[in-house]
Chains A and B, each alone.
Chain A
Amino acid sequence: MKKTGVFVCHCGINIAGTVDVKKVAEELSKHHGVSHSEDYVYMCSDPGQNLIIDAIKEKKLDKVIVACCSPTLHETTFRNACKSAGLNDFQCEIANVREQCSWVHKDKTRATKKAIKITKSAVERVQKNESLDPITVPVTRRALVIGGGIAGIQAALDMANTGFEVVLVEKSPSIGGHMIQLSETFPTLDCSQCILTPKMVEVSKHPKIKLLTYSEVQEVSGYVGNFKVKILKKPTYVDPEKCTLCDECTKVCPVVVPNEFDLGLTGRRAIYIPFPQAIPATYTLDIKGCPGLLPIACGKCADVCEPKAIDYDMKPEIIEEEVGAIIVATGYDLYDKENMAEYGYGKYPDVLDGLQFERLLSASGPTQGKILRPSDHKEPKEVVFIQCVGSRDPEMHCAYCSKICCMYTAKHAMLYKHHVHDGQAYIFYIDIRSGGKGYEEFVQRAVEEDGVLYLRGKVSKIFEDKGKIKVWGVDTLAGKDIEIDADMVVLATAMRPSQGAEELAKKLKLAMDKDGFLAEAHPKLRPVESVSSGLFLAGAAQAPKDIPEVVAQASGAAAKAITILSQEKLHHAPTVAKVSRNLCTGCGMCVFVCPYDALSLKDGKVEVNEVLCEGCGTCSATCLRAAIQVKNITPLQINEMIKACLGG
């Protein structure tokens, strides 16, 4: 005979006001298997919890139902109380008679009847509950960070400085990401390289960080605390240990290709160093541009290399790593210029995107910080900046706001004026979004001190006319058409998830939102966790954001990863699927539907990987023979619950 205890909470008048709690307790005392039933004004209070603990001890209760508020609130409280009385946590269930009953009904008689049904249904469930212990798994106490931009750098440093080993993987030859391409950063106008390079150096010298550049994650298997990762390290054909950075190789290399770092504003050789402060400080031979790795085809770079650092026989390498947590910080790319033909982007050389303009402003850029038109190297006297290019345009482009463009456009216009004192900057905008510390003041400064002319409206057409770029637009505040003969146009193009992010998301089983950014577990309360346990998100891979936000999120992701890495063992909810081997026919339908790849066929029967299983029960609804069930919410339990819900 089961000895179930039922405890009905008044919650002051929150429940007792609409539900006759005495009646509920009385009705339940007559229910089969219930040996104790009582009500109390606040079950969650200390005396309330003691009531439960004492009843368990005195009446030797083996099952407990608390009819109270939603289980999201006090399930843990009451399970812990039961535990302290020597009962297994899973022998306690909650009947939600507040949010789903007393608070939504007014008729006391009917609400009481419903509360009785809800409580009886919970009693039926708990009477068939198994006692379960949490599943424990060991933890590999090192982390993987994917992406070596500011987000990845910050997350890697935070974890490494806490004492955990970190593997930092970056697909390009140097870390630094987009931030290293920027000139100055809003709203303080710090030089971007000056504030980022110390962190890059720290990464490269950190004893706890293993840096793998020119590398890509190929395969990830395992689960939280125990991931196995295969990383492809592409050959650079240059031994960084031997390379002395003498730069003799680039002088003889006959191949010129567009320089990615300057976004095509300059060229680079097939053998190159991305930028002077690159980490690791070494050259990379890009075979796509190279006439051939055979010395017979060219081989000039190897000939001049005194320390013999160039090795044409270098092979791709697969590096296997074991980690406990993964932070994905794959960043962003700008919206493809092919999509922005309406603004003449890609057609007219003096129509640039925001990142290209950053390179023009940068002291290390193609013009050493002088603002010159790419077409004729003349100083532009009239520059038109256009915001929301591709952003906030659900019909044609991206529906979302790229968030940083209002600020960087104000910065661009301001810096332009600092370089070209007699020039005029115009900004076409839809709205100015300058939320952030010191941001609004920064925009005001651009208007007041640098005379930037803000025009509220969109641009309708851009075309070349007698060496000028004619910009047709409208000022919706003045209700006037605008025509500007510009020397240069800068487009604040939308931010997109970086190339390859989608492929990586599939490998990691990460969810993506409708725009292709990585989806967080909860938009407010779990912003740095992904839907998959042990995988965290940082930076613009999750959504467009500016540097301070990226850094904060990266540190947040690192702290979340540390909550895993700092533990000896991890606990996993034991309410997982269980297979009745004698019923299982090995049809494999459940294996196919499992969202977590937790099921597999072995010797003609299904096996559950309890660590991967999240207990969703999709398998159980798929099985034709009820051979697979989730513990403590089995079809048999549901059946009894249905009976109770329908009053008998």
Chain B
Amino acid sequence: MMAEEFEPKIVAFLCKWCSSAGSDLAGVSRMEYPPNVVPITVMCSGSVSPLYILSAFNKGADGVLVSGCHPGDCHYIKGNYYARRRIALVKELLEFIGLEPERFQMSWVSAAEGLKYTQIIKNFVQSLKPLGPQTKLRRNP
């Protein structure tokens, strides 16, 4: 398979109040981005367990995104602060295991940042394409 034909599969965990709403805004504003990402709306980025991320890679995701409200702006007061610390550890763990750092991202997207969400997805897809399929954590590569 040619490298440019590879279409990475991305799972995006979006918090309900900011990032999912920001992604909705991208839709309302008819901004375009590649369909590689399938979103899962969670209540808060703080509810994203490290297991969700590992599970996504295990089930064949080529990239995983966790996106929450901006620090200080969490709908649940401080959930995204916990997310920030937890995700930083997960990122180190994944890199330690040998996963390319590009495959896992965290972002802060507010309900007003449709454009930012679009750009994040575009860049994410672009950065994953040269890497090819993720096999490190995949159950049946």
Contacts and interface: CB of A to CB of B under 8 A. Distances in A.
Interface of A: 70-72, 96, 98-101, 103-107, 110-111, 113-114, 117-118, 121, 509, 511, 514, 531, 593, 595-596, 614-618, 620-622, 630, 633, 635, 638-639, 641-643, 645-647
B48 interface: yes
A598 to B, nearest CB: 11
Interface of B: 9, 11, 20-21, 23-28, 30-35, 38-44, 46-52, 55-56, 59-61, 72, 74-79, 82-83, 86, 118
A635 B28 contact: no
Contacts of B60: 646-647
A618 B32 contact: no
A639 B55 CA distance: 7
A616 B76 contact: yes
Given A621-B46, A621-B50, 20 more contacts: A103-B28, A104-B26, A104-B118, A105-B35, A593-B46, A596-B77, A614-B76, A615-B43, A617-B44, A617-B79, A621-B47, A621-B86, A633-B47, A635-B49, A638-B42, A641-B40, A642-B40, A643-B59, A646-B11, A646-B59
B23 A616 contact: no
Contact of A103 (B27, B47, B74): B27
A616 B83 CA distance: 12
Nearest to A641: B40
B77 A511 contact: yes
A535 to B, nearest CB: 13
Given A103-B30, A646-B9, A595 B78 contact: yes
Given A642-B11, A646-B61, A100 B42 contact: no
A99 B47 CA distance: 23
A100 B47 contact: no
8 A-B pairs with least C-beta separation: A617-B47, A99-B27, A616-B76, A618-B46, A103-B27, A645-B38, A99-B24, A595-B77
A118 B47 contact: no
A106 B25 CA distance: 17
A105 B31 CA distance: 8
A633 B38 contact: no
B35 A107 contact: yes
Contacts of B49: 620-621, 635
15 contacts: A70-B24, A96-B41, A99-B26, A103-B30, A104-B35, A614-B76, A616-B79, A617-B44, A618-B79, A621-B50, A621-B83, A633-B43, A635-B51, A645-B11, A645-B40
Contacts of B23: 99-100
B44 A593 contact: no
Contacts of A121: 38, 40
Contacts of A72: 21, 24
Nearest to B7: A110
A100 B77 contact: no
A643 B56 CA distance: 8
A617 B52 CA distance: 13
